[in-house]
């Protein structure tokens, strides 16, 4: 009986240790150049659709430290050694970190495949980064010369031509860099790095990666990679881009307006709707308000409705802005249903901010027809985009 009891206990201990080891990370650090101080690791993890901030701080003793914790998947983290910071992609495993304070930029992390991929990709991109930096230096050099000369000075023209040439070179270099990233992402379907580092999102935001190509790349990743937290966030963003292309039915939403009245986009079927995504702190949004007022006044009798969708997280600031800019005569709603939960980093996939590509920035304007289909979408406001709005409205309403 005693032998059986010991055997059962051993099995239980082994089982518990396996479970512990599976989700446990151990970061072992060695620092050259200092013997004492502190090491602080900070990161975010997603639990039950809520992002939580985690910080772990330990003492450096004789140039060494050990940080332990639990994570379910690879994450990006910031390791701060006294006043030096390093970006790490850590995993639930044992990892070794090396830093020479004389050359902190050359820090090394071993044991994390995600970080290895990050290092590998950055090595491939190194020459393109250098070219980009050199071009930027040249552009800034000639811009400084340009600023020192009178606007009617005839010698400005050759300088402007040089700046334009450098801008073209920069764009060519950027496209080449984007191709390297896209190839890496597609050929490393077991790598979380292109998603976790947000580099695919960056390519999309800079329009170096179209929606269709992004979908192909994302769907090519292993199922395990696609199930990770940041992958879900990226896929939600990608869906918002796919679902708000011109000709698609605008994603429906249901929420409360500033007066606590229920509002659903589907209630506006049979009318033209202009969604105005804005915020009280957004200067570009405020700049576009007079034009939106003009469009509303001009076409409201023809069935045009305006819905303002704010990104504000202060209800007080939002209400003040509505009053200040006199825009209470059209529907005003928030892009989240529960502002307090949103401020605590809860994710609600029924929120407007999850259904529309607000990650691309505001102001964002989306014009919807009577059937609920998207006619046109504008990112940002300028005199030029305002003229395009006018032309589109004229084509619809005839004047």
118-163: pLDDT as tens digits: 999 999 999 999 999 999 999 999 999 888 777 666 678 889 999 9
Each residue's pLDDT expressed in tens, for the chain with a length of 399 residues: 433 333 333 333 333 344 445 789 999 999 999 999 999 999 999 999 999 999 999 999 999 999 999 999 999 999 999 889 999 999 999 999 999 999 999 999 999 999 999 999 999 999 999 999 999 999 999 999 888 777 666 678 889 999 999 999 999 999 999 999 999 999 999 999 999 999 999 999 888 999 999 999 999 999 999 999 999 999 999 999 999 999 999 999 999 999 999 999 999 999 999 999 999 999 999 999 999 999 999 999 999 999 999 999 999 999 999 999 999 999 999 999 999 999 999 999 999 999 999 999 999 999 999 999 999 999 999 999 999 999 999 999 999
CB 85 within 8 A of CB 79: yes
CB 47 within 8 A of CB 8: no
CB atoms within 10 A of CB 126: 10
DSSP per residue, 267-294 = GGTTSEEEEEEE-TT-HHHHHHHHHHHH
Q: How far apart are CA 143 and CA 249, in angstroms?
A: 45
pLDDT at 14: 38
CB 276 within 8 A of CB 307: yes
Q: Which two tokens stand for residue 182?
A: 């896209």
pTM, full prediction: 0.88
337-350: pLDDT as tens digits: 999 999 999 999 99
314-324: pLDDT as tens digits: 999 999 999 99
The total number of residues shown for the chain amounts to 399
pLDDT at 364: 97
CB atoms within 10 A of CB 299: 19
168-208: pLDDT as tens digits: 999 999 999 999 999 999 999 999 999 999 999 999 988 89
352's CB contacts (< 8 A; 6+ apart) are 253, 255, 309, 333, 334, 335, 336, 358
Nearest-CA neighbor of 72 among 57, 100, 87, 52? Answer: 52
139-172 residues labelled b (16+ CB within 10 A) or e (exposed): beebeeebeeeeeeeeeeeebeebbeebeebbee
Burial class (CB in 10 A: 0-12, 13-18, 19+), 236: middle
CB 378 within 8 A of CB 365: yes
Cis peptide upstream of residue 363 (ω within 30 degrees of 0): yes
User: Which phi and psi angles does 48 have, rounded to 5°?
Assistant: 50, 50
Q: How far apart are CA 86 and CA 229, in angstroms?
A: 22
Look at strands 254-256 and 304-310 and give their pairing.
unpaired
DSSP per residue, 89-142 = EE-SSEEEEEEETTSGGG-EEES-HHHHHHHHHHHHHHHHHHHHHHHHHHHHHH
392's CB contacts (< 8 A; 6+ apart) are 367, 375, 376
Nearest-CA neighbor of 244 among 378, 113, 397, 131? Answer: 378
| Long-range pairs of 222-228 with CB within 8 A, sequence gap ≥ 24 | 222/189, 222/190, 224/190, 225/189, 225/190, 225/191, 225/192, 225/195, 228/73, 228/74, 228/192, 228/195, 228/196
Torsion (CA) 330, 267, 239, 197 in degrees, nearest 10: 40
Q: How far apart are CA 364 and CA 376, in angstroms?
A: 11
Q: Which two tokens stand for residue 60?
A: 């450096």
Q: Which two tokens stand for residue 132?
A: 């980009």
Alpha carbon distances (Å) from 55 to 39, 45, 80, 159, 313: 10, 11, 11, 50, 25
CB 1 within 8 A of CB 41: no
145's CB contacts (< 8 A; 6+ apart) are 159
């Amino acid at each position: 009986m005693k032998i059986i009891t010991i055997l059962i206990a051993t099995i239980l201990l082994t089982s518990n240790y396996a479970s512990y080891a599976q989700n446990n990370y151990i970061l072992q650090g060695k620092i050259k150049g200092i013997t004492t101080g502190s090491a602080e690791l900070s990161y975010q993890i997603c639990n039950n659709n809520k992002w939580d901030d985690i910080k772990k701080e330990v003492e450096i003793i004789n140039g060494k430290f050990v940080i332990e914790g639990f994570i379910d998947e690879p994450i990006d983290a910031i390791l701060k050694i006294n006043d030096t910071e390093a970006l790490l992609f850590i995993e639930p495993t044992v990892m070794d970190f090396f830093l020479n304070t004389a050359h902190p930029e050359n820090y090394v992390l071993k044991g994390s495949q995600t970080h290895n991929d990050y290092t590998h990709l950055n090595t491939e991109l190194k020459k393109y980064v250098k070219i980009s930096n050199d071009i930027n230096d040249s552009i800034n050099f000639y811009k400084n010369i340009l600023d020192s000369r009178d606007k009617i000075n005839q010698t400005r023209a050759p300088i402007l031509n040089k700046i334009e040439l450098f801008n073209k070179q920069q764009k060519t270099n950027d496209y080449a860099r984007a191709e390297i990233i896209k190839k890496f992402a597609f050929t490393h379907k077991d790598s979380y790095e292109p998603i976790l580092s947000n580099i695919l999102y960056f390519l999309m935001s800079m329009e170096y990666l179209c929606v269709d190509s992004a979908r192909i790349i994302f769907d090519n990743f292993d199922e395990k990679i696609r199930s990770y937290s940041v992958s879900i966030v990226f896929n939600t963003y990608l869906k918002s881009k796919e679902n708000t292309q011109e000709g698609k039915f605008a994603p429906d939403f249901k929420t409360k307006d500033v007066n606590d009245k229920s509002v659903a986009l589907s209630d506006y079927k049979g009318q033209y709707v202009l969604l105005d995504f804005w915020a009280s702190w957004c200067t570009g949004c405020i700049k576009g308000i007079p034009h939106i007022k003009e469009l509303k006044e001009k076409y409201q009798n023809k069935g045009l409705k305006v819905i303002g969708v704010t990104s504000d997280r202060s209800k007080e600031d939002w209400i003040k802005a509505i009053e200040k800019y006199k825009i209470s005569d059209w529907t005003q709603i928030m892009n989240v249903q529960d502002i307090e939960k949103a401020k605590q980093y809860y994710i609600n996939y029924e929120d407007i901010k999850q259904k529309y590509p607000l990650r691309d920035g505001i102001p964002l304007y989306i014009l919807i027809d009577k059937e609920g289909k998207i006619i046109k979408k504008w990112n940002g406001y300028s005199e030029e985009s305002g003229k395009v709005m006018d032309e589109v409205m004229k084509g619809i309403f005839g004047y």
